[in-house]
Structure formats: structure tokens, C-alpha cells
């Protein structure tokens, strides 16, 4: 029996979101209906609403969610009814070339629900990142559900579903930050601050937070930054990072903004043979012009980080355990808890820089 629930959609480009009835079909063999407890508001939801991802409107927004498995398809073995899960947008297939080469975090054929959710008139919805969780319930593939310790507050646990995982993983997985490393993070929003927390957890001894908003630098310090650089008041940020690292530059520099100028700063702020990790997402028109010889003479590695190169089944339970043990302050990312009617206001708060994360509680 199909189920009707309330959900937040973006019907057309740049229009306010709408809270409407959503029809969830019966789950396909490997699908799961999840009753949503919480869902964080991420930049990508705003990007969907403003036409920055594609034009497959209407979108069912929300993709950073925790909830409880309510119904399972006939062939589901991975989770059971009643399981407390965090949803992910990269359910790896196990069969593609990347998976078979033992690099499933690059999986090119990730799974989503097999059936569409719809509006009351039958119009098919495009769920944000294959999830769509600003809704009382949503339909996903079983592989999109990762069971975690029930002791974790769902407003905290859900954040692993996107931005916080992307930042933690940019440092820990992609950047391979290790004990004694120096790390600089450019852009200290939710993603950059998570990279800072990840660098701390991995044992970095110098962690330099760079932002042009002084408020963000205070939050960054709270999450583990040992030094800060106010980009709005510093002529040469790369030089400032070098000064803070004995004249060398950082071992790993993480660009959590994703603009040509921040990438260029990241490139020159690292030590010879250092690593740049691009986790901020550029837009298609952005261009970079730099001397090719600098790429050669600087050496090292230039990497991009998709979802923090995470493996949800490996990383979500581990990170929740570290949180519950008091070793990873995930709760500090929850700036405000809001209702399902607060998504547009949360978008505005995000744009104003007032919040790391607003979390919708259902
Ligand atoms: N790679 C992934 O899988 C993934 C996942 C989630 C989000 N993201 C991306 O990560 C980026 C950051 O997301 P967020 O939620 O932290 O955004 P945010 O807007 O909260 O944070 C960005 C921060 O960068 C700062 N900033 C902007 N321009 C700057 C500059 N020139 N110099 C220094 N600081 C500057 C802002 O003041 C802000 O604090 C976005 O591009 C987002 O799309 C990537
Ligand atoms: Zn695969
Ligand atoms: Zn997101």
C-alpha cells in the first residue's frame, strides 16, 4: 500500500519551497521505507532549489538524514524493520570497475530506490542526491542505510550523511592526514570545520583555519584549529600559512570553498610535495590559470574529495562511536533545530553565515 506523507519540495527554479503531500510507493525488492527523525540543511539542497544541480524539477529536498527503518522490500537483508540508520548517497554496487579494483569509495554505479516517489497528481519527484528526506518518510535502497548506535542523538548522527562526513573524510581519507602533520583548511563552514575536527582526530599538530569571517574562525578554534588566518585582513594567505609552519607551508591544505582563488591559495600554501584536497565544489564556468612549471616544481599531489572518500558502512558507525566516547564533538555542528516548515529560513541563515548546520526535526 502506497503511503502519503508530508515533504518539502522545490517545484520551480528560485521559488520558495513548499510543504506538500508526497506519495511513497511500496518498496521494490531491495528498497526500504525510512521514517525520518532528522535531516540537516545542506548547501546542495539550496543548489537544487536555485537550479545549480540540474533542472529535473520538482525536487524532494533533504539528504542528510537519520531515521528508523519502517518497511523493507522482499529481498532486503542488509537492514531490518526498527533499525536506527543514517542515510548515505553513495551505496556502492560492488560490481563496477572501481569496486572490483578494491576502491569502492569511487563506485560509479551507486544504488538508489527502484521506484519513484510522486506528488498527489502522479508527477515524479527527483529526490535530492537520491534521498529526499525533508519528509516524514522516504524511500531509499537498502545500501543507503547504515545502522549506528541508538545512543547517538539523531540531530547529530544525521550530519554524517553529507557535509560533516565530506569534511572529516577530506582530511582523514583523501588527505591521509597523520600524526604530526601540519594542515591548513580554507573555508570554515560545516565542511571546513569538519576537516579541522578530522585533522585533529588524525593527530595533526598544527591546524590552521582560514576564513574571511572572524566568527567562523572562533568556531574553527573550538573544533581544533591551533591557528587562524583572517582572509579578509591578510594580503597573502599562502604566505601567512607558510609563516605559521616554519616557512615551509602545510603538509596538507584543504580547500573547502572551491573557487579558483582559494584553490590557488591552497596550491601555494603547502610545503614542497604537499597535498591539496579540493572538497568545495566549483561551478562549471570557473577557470584557473597558473604556470605549469609550478605544478612540476611543487610536486606532491592534487586530489579531489567526493563525500570525503567515505565508505558509510566503515565510517559512520566508527565516527558515531568516537562521538559517543567524547572524542569527536559532532554535536558542535548543530547550530539550530527547526521544524519542517523552517527550510527556507534555514537557507537564509546558511547564506548569512550564522549557522554551521540547521537540523530539521520531524
Ligand atoms: N565534496 C563533497 O562531497 C561535498 C559535500 C558537501 C559539501 N561540499 C561543498 O563544500 C563547500 C563548503 O560547504 P559548507 O557547507 O561548509 O559551506 P559554507 O558556506 O557554510 O562555508 C564556506 C565558508 O567559506 C568561507 N569563504 C568563502 N570564500 C572564502 C575565501 N575567499 N577565503 C576564505 N574563506 C572563504 C565562508 O566565509 C564560509 O565560512 C561547498 O562548496 C559545498 O558544496 C562538498
Ligand atoms: Zn561500484
Ligand atoms: Zn549535502
**Ligand 1 pocket: which residues have CB below 6 Å?**
43-44, 162-163, 166, 186-192, 210-213, 216, 231, 256-258, 261-262, 279-281, 305-307, 353
- Going along the chain from its start, the domains and CATH numbers come out as 3-161+329-361 (3.90.180.10), 166-306 (3.40.50.720)
For residue 185, list its beta bridge partners.
Answer: 209, 254
| Torsion over CA: 81, 83, 84, 86 (sign) | negative
- Position 52 scores a pLDDT of 87
Q: Per DSSP, which regions of 29-101 are E strands?
A: 31-40, 59-60, 64-72, 84-87
Average pLDDT over residues 58-74: 98
- Position 147 scores a pLDDT of 98
- Position 1 scores a pLDDT of 76
- Position 96 scores a pLDDT of 96
Query: What is the helix, strand, coil percentage profile of the chain, to 5?
Result: 35, 25, 40
In contact, 149 and 218? CB cutoff 8 Å: no
- Of the candidates 248, 283, 254, 282, the one whose C-alpha atom is nearest the C-alpha of residue 267 is 254
Write out pLDDT tens, residues 281-310.
998 899 999 999 999 999 999 999 999 999
pLDDT at residue 9 is higher than 80:
yes
CA-proximal residue: ligand 1, atom 25 (nearest): 187
**237 φ/ψ angles, rounded to the nearest 5 degrees:** -65, -40
Average pLDDT over residues 121-144: 98
pLDDT at residue 127 is higher than 90:
yes
Least distant ligand from the CA of 107: 2
Of residues 256 and 52, the one with the higher pLDDT is 256
- Of the candidates 159, 154, 148, 151, the one whose C-alpha atom is nearest the C-alpha of residue 37 is 154
Ligand 1 atom closest to Cα of residue 210: 33
Ligand 1 atom closest to Cα of residue 307: 3
- Position 84 scores a pLDDT of 98
Q: How high is the mean pLDDT of the chain?
A: 97
In contact, 226 and 180? CB cutoff 8 Å: no
- Position 190 scores a pLDDT of 94
Residue 324 DSSP one-character state: H
Write out pLDDT tens, residues 146-197.
999 999 999 999 999 999 999 999 999 999 999 999 999 999 999 999 999 9
Return d(Cα 330, Cα 326) in angstroms, integer: 9
Write out pLDDT tens, residues 191-241.
999 999 999 999 999 999 999 999 999 999 999 999 999 999 999 999 999
Average pLDDT over residues 309-325: 97
3-state SS track over 170-183: HHHHHCCCCCCCEE
Which residue is it, cell 549557522? 355
- Position 14 scores a pLDDT of 86
| Torsion over CA: 76, 78, 83, 87 (sign) | negative
pLDDT at residue 50 is higher than 90:
yes
- Position 284 scores a pLDDT of 86
Residues bordering ligand 2, an ion, CB closer than 5 Å: 93, 96, 99, 107, 109
pLDDT at residue 362 is higher than 90:
yes
Average pLDDT over residues 94-120: 96
- Position 27 scores a pLDDT of 98
pLDDT at residue 72 is higher than 80:
yes
Amino acid at each position: 500500500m502506497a503511503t502519503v506523507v508530508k515533504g518539502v519540495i522545490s517545484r520551480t527554479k528560485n521559488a520558495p519551497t513548499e510543504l506538500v503531500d508526497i506519495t511513497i510507493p511500496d518498496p521494490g525488492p531491495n528498497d526500504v521505507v525510512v521514517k525520518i527523525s532528522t535531516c540537516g540543511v545542506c548547501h546542495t539542497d539550496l543548489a537544487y532549489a536555485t537550479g545549480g544541480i540540474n533542472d529535473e524539477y520538482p525536487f524532494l529536498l533533504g539528504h542528510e538524514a537519520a531515521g528508523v527503518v519502517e518497511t523493507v522490500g522482499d529481498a532486503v537483508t542488509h537492514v531490518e524493520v526498527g533499525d536506527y540508520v543514517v542515510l548515505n548517497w553513495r551505496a556502492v554496487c560492488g560490481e563496477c570497475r572501481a569496486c572490483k579494483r578494491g576502491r569502492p569509495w569511487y563506485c560509479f554505479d551507486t544504488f538508489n530506490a527502484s521506484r519513484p516517489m510522486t506528488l498527489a497528481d502522479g508527477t515524479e519527484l527527483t529526490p535530492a542526491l537520491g534521498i529526499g528526506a525533508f519528509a516524514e518518510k522516504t524511500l531509499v535502497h537498502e545500501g543507503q542505510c547504515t545502522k549506528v548506535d541508538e545512543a547517538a542523538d539523531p540531530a547529530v548522527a544525521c550530519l554524517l550523511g553529507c557535509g560533516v562526513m565530506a569534511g572529516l573524510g577530506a582530511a582523514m581519507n583523501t588527505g591521509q592526514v597523520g600524526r604530526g602533520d601540519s594542515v591548513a583548511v580554507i573555508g570554515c563552514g560545516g565542511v571546513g570545520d569538519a576537516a579541522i575536527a578530522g585533522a585533529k582526530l588524525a593527530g595533526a599538530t598544527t591546524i590552521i583555519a582560514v576564513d574571511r569571517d572572524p566568527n567562523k574562525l572562533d568556531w574553527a578554534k573550538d573544533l581544533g584549529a591551533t591557528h587562524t588566518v583572517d582572509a579578509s585582513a591578510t594580503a597573502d594567505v599562502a604566505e601567512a600559512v607558510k609563516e605559521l609552519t616554519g616557512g615551509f607551508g602545510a603538509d596538507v591544505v584543504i580547500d573547502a570553498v572551491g573557487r579558483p582563488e582559494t584553490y590557488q591559495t591552497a596550491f601555494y600554501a603547502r610545503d614542497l610535495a604537499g597535498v591539496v584536497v579540493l572538497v568545495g565544489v566549483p561551478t562549471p564556468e570557473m577557470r584557473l590559470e597558473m604556470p605549469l612549471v609550478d605544478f612540476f616544481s611543487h610536486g606532491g599531489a592534487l586530489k579531489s574529495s567526493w563525500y570525503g572518500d567515505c565508505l558509510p558502512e566503515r565510517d559512520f558507525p566508527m565516527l558515531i562511536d568516537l562521538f559517543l566516547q567524547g572524542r569527536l564533538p559532532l554535536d558542535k555542528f548543530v547550530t539550530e533545530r527547526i521544524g519542517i516548515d523552517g527550510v527556507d529560513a534555514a537557507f537564509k541563515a546558511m547564506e548569512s553565515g550564522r549557522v554551521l548546520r540547521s537540523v530539521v526535526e520531524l
